[in-house]
Amino acid sequence: MTDPALDLALQDLQKGKTTWAGTGTADRIAVLAQIKDRLMDVAQIWAETAAAKKLIPAGSPLLGEEWTSGPYTLMSACNLLIKTLSQIDGKGHIAGLPIRDLPGGQIAATVLPRTIWDRLLLSGVRAEVWMAPGVTRQNLADNTAGRYDVPPGQRQGGVSLVLGAGNIAAIAPLDCFQKLFVEHRVVLLKMNPVNDYLVEFLRPALRPLIDRGALRIVTGDADVGEYLCNHPVIDDIHITGSEASHDAIVWGVGAEGEQNKAAGKPKNSRPITSELGAVCPTIVVPGPWTDADLSFQAEHIATQKLHNSGFNCVACQMLILAKNWDKTEPLLNRVKQVINSLPPRPPYYPGAAERMDDFAHHGAGSGSGGANCVIVESGDGWLENNEIFAPALGTVALDEDDPESYLRAAIAYANDKLHGTLGANILIHPKTIAALGRHRFD
């Protein structure tokens, strides 16, 4: 396969890679400010179009999902990058970050909340970055933003291929920002066919990068993706997608791919970073939950499952429960009630209906959840080993009774039985944390 348009886009990036790598922080801040202005022009039609493509009815409050996972997130990224870049000389961007010591000798920096908007929109949410062993309070600055320690004129540029996610609108441009503003790379963004309608909004919003020869955005099917992954101009790859897609890129497909993977001989030896799906658990720890706790956490579980109609790689797929806890059945019933109370939401992602049928087939029991979500008990092990990427939820009940033994068993089940390592949730009462010892959760 050859494609003159793709070749031309890559030639443009090849020409622009050294110039972009040498761009100073002031110029990059100016580019981000221009993107913010352009984003304002397309934000509303972007969110409304994405909602319509996902079969969300006009006027539905679910439109908010497309604002917060699309233009709002991109605007927030611009603001945060501007702030970081404006303080990066002398590593001022890490000044004032709360740092704490971890039991194993590492340190952790609290990066959220940082602003009043964090506290308003993400009330009660806190995020930390755990530093690698050997990074201390004294040498933290030396281990932060190292690529910006290299003077602009001495930086090595490169051409990155970003294979965009098909579910959440902001992921693809944010992956590009990582390459552009953190790694000094220029980017060819290949959109996922599921949401390539976003090109209509991303091109005008990101025009300042395109005009500088730092970004090109293309569309196409798997053949286009394969062509780009193996193009000599591409230096490295980032993919947000499935493990199958990742393995096809790195090892190849079919019997050849299996042989290459078993032998540790990649077909494509370029550096590749990836954010891949998994079977993600939510562990519910028994404790002194009130009726209000049950209602709140039932809504929490339903929300994390049904956000974006379940098409999130980090969405809960296995709900881990304590079999003999007297709150297990009431909690599960309330989860089902919440899910059943919501208006039906047609699954928009290709292949979802077939995957949900497989999920129901391999689960135990008759299933429940109504039109919005398939809910089944763990059955033959298929649920634990296959990412569903759809509105479907598995449950498993463990025999352990007391919180400590249960939590150990649940963590072992999640680590040893569930495929992948992308994310996990623990729902636990503060009194249970205190009884077990807060320090033990580090």
Position 194 pLDDT exceeds 70:
yes
Do 337 and 368 meet the contact criterion of CB atoms below 8 Å apart? no
- Let me know whether 427 and 328 are in one domain: yes
Q: How many domains does the chain have?
A: 3
Residues 302, 310: Cα–Cα separation, whole Å: 10
My answer on whether 417 and 374 are in the same domain is yes
By the 8 A CB rule, do 424 and 283 touch? yes
Q: Which domain holds residue 436?
A: 280-441
pLDDT value for 114: 86
- Cis status of the peptide bond prior to 113, with omega within 30 of 0: yes
Tokens for 142, please give them.
Answer: 């030396």
**pLDDT class of 367 with cuts at 50, 70, 90:** low
Residue 372, amino acid: N
User: Does 9 lie in the same domain as 84?
Assistant: yes
One domain for residues 64 and 108? no
Please tell me whether residues 168 and 208 are part of one structural domain.
yes
Within this chain, do residues 140 and 151 fall inside the same structural domain, yes or no? no
- Can you list the alpha helix ranges (DSSP code H) found in 93-198? 116-121, 171-177
Distances (CA, A) of 442 to 104, 128, 284, 409, 415: 9, 12, 18, 17, 17
Helices and strands per DSSP (H, E), number in the chain: 17, 14
Residue 6 burial (CB < 10 Å; 0-12/13-18/19+)? buried
- Report which of 227, 159, 157, 218 is spatially closest to residue 187, judged by C-alpha positions: 159
| Domain edge (last residue) among 189, 218, 241 | 241
| pLDDT value of position 442 | 75
136 and 160 part of one domain: no
Q: Please check whether residues 60 and 184 belong to one and the same domain.
A: yes
Picking from 186-195, 370-379, 426-435, which range would have the lowest pLDDT averaged per residue? 370-379
132 and 203, same domain (yes or no)? no
**In a domain? residue 193:** yes
pLDDT tier at 220 (50, 70, 90 boundaries)? very high
pLDDT band at residue 419, thresholds of 50, 70 and 90?
very high
Q: At what angle do helices 71-87 and 25-53 cross, to 10 degrees?
A: 170
By the 10 Å C-beta count (0-12 exposed, 13-18 middle, 19+ buried), 367 is classed as middle
Residue 364: what pLDDT? 87
Residue-level pLDDT at 36: 99
Answer yes or no: is 164 within a domain: yes
CATH number of the domain within which 154 lies: 3.40.605.10
Single pTM value for the model: 0.95
Q: Is 80 helix (H, G, I), strand (E, B) or coil?
A: helix
394 phi, psi to nearest 5 deg = -100, 155
* Mean pLDDT rounded to a whole number for the chain: 95
Residues 205, 139: one domain? no
- Asked if residue 250 is part of any domain, the answer here is no
What is the rounded CA–CA span in Å between residue 435 and residue 429? 10
Mean pLDDT of 359-381: 84
Quick one: which of 25, 8, 4, 6 has its CA closest to 16? 8
- What is the 8-class DSSP label of residue 197? G
Q: What is the pLDDT of residue 368?
A: 66
- Shared domain check, 155 and 191: yes
* Structure confidence by residue, pLDDT tens digits, 30-55: 999 999 999 999 999 999 999 999 99
How does residue 369 score in pLDDT terms, banded at 50, 70 and 90?
Answer: low
- Pair 53, 121 in one domain: no
**Is residue 433 predicted with pLDDT exceeding 70?**
yes
pLDDT digits (tens, 9 = 90+) for 121-142: 888 899 999 999 999 999 999 9
Question: What number of CA atoms fall less than 13 Å from residue 178's CA on the CB side?
Answer: 18
β partners of residue 187? 160, 215
Beta-carbon contacts of residue 101 (< 8 Å; ≥ 6 apart): 107
How far apart (Å, rounded) are the C-alpha atoms in residues 235 and 230? 10
The mean per-residue pLDDT over the stretch 379-403 comes to 95
Distance CA 433, CA 319 (A): 20
Q: 100, 110 in Cβ contact below 8 A?
A: yes
